Amino acid sequence: QVQLVQSGGELVQAGGSLRLSCVASGRTFRTYTMAWFRQAPGKEREFVAATKWSGSSTYYANSVEGRFTISRDNTKNTVYLQMNSLKPEDTAVYYCASRGGPTSRYSDDYNYWGQGAQVTVSS
Q: What is the mean pLDDT of each run of 10 residues along the chain (123 residues)?
A: 90 97 77 90 96 83 97 88 98 95 94 96 95
What does residue 28 show for φ and ψ, rounded to 5 degrees? -70, -15
Give pLDDT, residue 29. Answer: 52
The residue among 17, 28, 20 whose CA lies nearest residue 116 is: 20
Give pLDDT, residue 56. Answer: 73
Ordered DSSP codes for the chain: -EEEEEE---EEETT--EEEEEEEEESGGG--EEEEEEE-TTS--EEEEEEETTS--EEE-TTTTTTEEEEEETTTTEEEEEE-S--GGG-EEEEEEEESSS--S-GGG--EE---EEEEEE-
Give pLDDT, residue 51. Answer: 94
Residue 22 CA to residue 105 CA, distance in Å, equals 18
Give pLDDT, residue 116. Answer: 97
Give pLDDT, residue 6. Answer: 96
Give pLDDT, residue 32. Answer: 75
